[in-house]
Amino acid sequence: MKALLDTKTKYFFFGGKGGVGKTVVSAAVALYYAERGERTLLASFNPVHSLSSLFGQNLSGGAIKPVAGVDNLYAVEVEIGDVVEKYKERVASLLREIFKWAELPVDTRPLVEIATTNPSFHEAAAFDKMMDVVLNEGRNYSRIIFDMAAVANAVRLIGLSKLYGLWLQRTIKMRQEALSLKYQLSFRKEKVLEEIKKDPVLNDLISLQERYAKVREILRDPQQTRFVFVTIPTVLSISVVKRFIDMVKAYEIPIGGVVVNMVIPPEEMERDKTGFLKSKGEEQARNLALIDQYFGGLVLSRVRLFPEDIVGLDRLRQFVKELVK
């Protein structure tokens, strides 16, 4: 793990099945960098935020806040609901502009409602916000750590890094064709040509495409970005990560490795007189063999199961020691 963290990689994404400790691992990596003197941003894109609980302070509200007690560490719990509302208004504005230009008296509200109830709309809005973080905050921080949602949401979000570009390409082409048709049919071509140059829809789409191209380049660059998977030694979590790795590869996102969390220490198994931990430990041993078989050299670290929840800076520092040993 230390070898990966000592690289110049700027953007780290952490994902895995729900309940495996993604947030703790993300926060531990952010704390590691901050306490080395690097200005670090920890961004939660998990709809069910837990950074506030983890650090024992209010980090909610969607704004970037300094983490009390740690120099150089900042955090944001991205409020997806707010992001969706802003994105919804943007889509509505684009539709109004399209119909205004076509001189069609259409009420765009039902169209907006249809578009925004699409299951992928939330991921599109979240991806737009992620682009903001990468492009705008990337200038302000040495490292940015993303705590991602559970696998299904994360895959859809990452998948947009490829599909978003295809959608923009197609939409820009359609808009250009419509503008070209209007120019050909117009009598006052010079006036229409000026309007086309200032067309807000086309300019907005081109601006989006330029932002997308920059982010896409960053996400595919192994010198800048790594996706790290977090699992625990259970068959279900291992299976999820195994499938997740293939999906991330398909989207050309560089893989950083796998963190194995909540491993029962042998001495704890020996101390437990009930036999419960020994039984669980033996089950974990079989699953750890599976992890070695499936992931081999991708395993970055095995972190022991702590007897208590990782809450507060002191316990998080203990976790960092286990993670980066």
Tell me, what's the pLDDT at 117?
65
Q: Is the pLDDT of residue 77 over 60?
A: yes
Q: What is the mean pLDDT of residues 179-184?
A: 75
CA distance 258 to 301: 7
- The band of 33, judged by pLDDT with boundaries at 50, 70 and 90, is very high
* Percent with pLDDT over 70 in the chain: 87
What are 144's strand-pairing partners? Answer: 11, 41
Q: What is the mean pLDDT of residues 188-192?
A: 74
- The band of 98, judged by pLDDT with boundaries at 50, 70 and 90, is low
Token code pair at residue 36: 């080395």
Residues 6+ apart with CB under 8 A from 285: none
CATH number of domain containing 313? 3.40.50.300
Q: What is the mean pLDDT of residues 267-273?
A: 85
Tell me, what's the pLDDT at 226?
94
- For the chain, the domain total comes to 1
Q: Is the pLDDT of residue 155 over 80?
A: no
Residue bearing the bigger pLDDT, 246 or 181: 246
φ/ψ of residue 103, rounded to 5: 55, 40
Q: Is the pLDDT of residue 191 over 70?
A: yes
Q: What is the mean pLDDT of residues 146-167?
A: 67
Domain assignment present for residue 233? The answer is: yes
Q: What is the mean pLDDT of residues 18-42?
A: 96
* Percent with pLDDT over 90 in the chain: 49
Domain assignment present for residue 185? The answer is: no
Render pLDDT for 292-307 as a digit per residue (tens, 0 to 9): 999 989 999 999 999 9
Q: Structural domain of residue 265, as residue ranges?
A: 1-82+121-151+223-324
Q: What is the mean pLDDT of residues 44-53?
A: 88
CA distance 9 to 121: 30
Domain assignment present for residue 316? The answer is: yes
Tell me, what's the pLDDT at 236?
94
Please check whether residue 320 is in contact with residue 32, taking contact to mean a CB–CB distance below 8 angstroms: yes
Render pLDDT for 203-233 as a digit per residue (tens, 0 to 9): 888 888 888 888 888 988 999 999 999 999 9
Q: Is the pLDDT of residue 129 over 90?
A: no
Domain assignment present for residue 75? The answer is: yes
Domain assignment present for residue 61? The answer is: yes
Residues 6+ apart with CB under 8 A from 322: 301, 303, 304
Tell me, what's the pLDDT at 158?
63
Domain assignment present for residue 177? The answer is: no
Tell me, what's the pLDDT at 292?
95
Q: Is the pLDDT of residue 46 over 90?
A: no
- The band of 101, judged by pLDDT with boundaries at 50, 70 and 90, is low
What are 14's strand-pairing partners? Answer: 147, 228
Q: Is the pLDDT of residue 161 over 60?
A: no
DSSP codes of every residue in 117-170: TSHHHHHHHHHHHHHHHHHHGGGT-SEEEEE---HHHHHHHHHHHHHHHHHHHH
Render pLDDT for 241-257 as a digit per residue (tens, 0 to 9): 998 888 888 878 899 99
- The band of 13, judged by pLDDT with boundaries at 50, 70 and 90, is very high
In whole numbers, what is the pLDDT of the chain averaged over residues? 85
Domain assignment present for residue 93? The answer is: no
- The band of 325, judged by pLDDT with boundaries at 50, 70 and 90, is confident
For helices 151-185 and 200-220, angle between their N-to-C axes, nearest 10 degrees: 140
Q: Which residues of 51-65 are buried (b: 16+ CB within 10 A; e: fewer)?
A: bbebbebebeeeebb
Domain assignment present for residue 89? The answer is: no
- The band of 20, judged by pLDDT with boundaries at 50, 70 and 90, is very high
Residue bearing the bigger pLDDT, 37 or 106: 37
